[in-house]
Amino acid sequence: MYMYLPIALTSVNYLVVIGLGLSVGLLSGLFGVGGGFLMTPLLMMVGIPPTIAAATDANQIVAASASGTFAHWRLGNVDVKMGIYLLVGGFLGGAVGVQVIKLLRATGGADFLIKMTYVVMLGLVGSFMFVESIHAMRKKKVASAAPAAQAKTAAPEKKRNGFFASLPLQVYFEKSGVTHSALVPLFLGTFVGVLAAIMGVGGGFLMVPVMVYMLRMPMHVVVGTSLFQILFTCVEVTFLQAYSNRTVDFFLALLLLFGSVFGAQIGTVLGKKLHGDQLKILLAILVLAVTVKIVLELVLEPSLLLAYAGGH
């Protein structure tokens, strides 16, 4: 029942770890998020040091997102062109974000800013998605009752598209069925990359709403494209963490990915059975629950007032 982890230097019940991988992989396949914002704290709860937990999580996300991307690819849900633009932006943003955090650490108070960014971003994204999804579901009901109302609701979207249309380098993204300036996904990718680097997460839960609300992509294509982008980001992170910090525990990653690759497949199949708005509401609830957890951690006195230096 127990397996010793050579880099984490601890022993874990492998059934528990596989179970964690399965649960987070399921969420990954369902919502297109890497799940790092859930997995890292869960691993810390089973006794894995924070630095090892974060780095190894990136390694298992490679497997889960490869599995999820593959599944979504077959379903025709991956917009490779959009994914590449976002990825390039994400790499640029990540590099900028790392420099920002270095500067903040030098001046002190970086931890406070990181936590606050986390709470504010998660809270905003979660609340917005929740309210918007409920609103959209109500609209649908009204629209089905009175089809004429649909014409009215289409007007503001056209206006938004009009603003994006005025930008140069217009590109048509066939898979998503949208036309945007190449600068838009590049800029949004950079923005998410900066935030993800500051917060120390992959950024899937930020990228998904950006694709849904700013790029107006269909929800199912968003999930596949997000996983595609996360896959490449996590390949880079895993290699750098193993090479520079020696914090990737291969056995821990194996246990997690054993669960997560199956979880991602189950999540993808489940996702097919849910409507886009239902998926959005579920993700919003998840994001809000994590926000509440972080707020409680910030406000309540920790049971231990010390932690090893080097963690998040």
The residues binding another protein (CB under 8 A) are 2-4, 6-7, 9-11, 47, 59-60, 62-71, 74-77, 111-112, 115, 220, 235, 238-244, 246, 248, 250-251, 253-254, 257-258, 261-262, 264-265, 269, 272, 297-302, 304-311
| Comparison of 124 and 269: residue with beta carbon closer to another protein | 269
Distance (Å, rounded) from C-alpha 189 to C-alpha 183? Answer: 10
CB of 187 to another protein, least distance (A): 29
Long-range contacts of 110-119 (CB under 8 A, 24+ apart): 113/198, 114/198, 114/199, 114/200, 114/312, 115/294, 115/298, 117/195, 117/198, 117/199, 118/199, 118/294, 119/291, 119/294, 119/295, 119/298
**Of residues 142 and 177, the one with the C-beta less far from another protein:** 177
Residue 3: strand pairing partners? 12
Minimum CB separation of residue 241 from another protein in Å reads: 8
Q: How far apart are CA 142 and CA 135, in angstroms?
A: 11
* Residue 145 vs 304, nearer CB to another protein: 304
Cα separations in angstroms, 190 against 93, 139, 207, 230: 4, 33, 11, 14
Q: What gap in Å lies between CA 186 and CA 90, rounded to an integer?
A: 8
> Closest separation between CB of residue 24 and another protein, Å?
14
User: In terms of CB distance, is 64 or 282 closer to another protein?
Assistant: 64
**Are the C-beta atoms of residues 28 and 267 closer than 8 Å to each other?**
yes
Min CB(54)–another protein separation in Å: 14
HSE-CB for 49 with a 13 A CA cutoff = 17
The count of C-alpha atoms lying within 13 angstroms of the C-alpha of 196, restricted to the half-sphere facing its C-beta, is 31
Q: Shortest Cβ distance from residue 79 to another protein (Å)?
A: 14
Which residue number, 3 or 183, has a Cβ lying nearer to another protein?
Answer: 3
Distance in Å, CB of 302 to another protein, minimum: 5
Residues β-bridged to residue 170? 181
Structure tokens at 271: 């996702």
Please list the residues that pair with 4 across neighbouring strands: 11
Closest contact distance (angstroms) between CB of 2 and another protein is: 4
CB nearer another protein, residue 12 or residue 184: 12
209 with 125: CB under 8 angstroms? Answer: yes
Kindly tell me which of 3 and 44 has the beta carbon lying closer to another protein.
3
What's the closest the beta carbon of residue 239 comes to another protein, in angstroms? Answer: 4
Dist CA 77 CA 72 (whole Å): 5
- Specify the residue, 169 or 292, whose C-beta has the smaller distance to another protein: 292
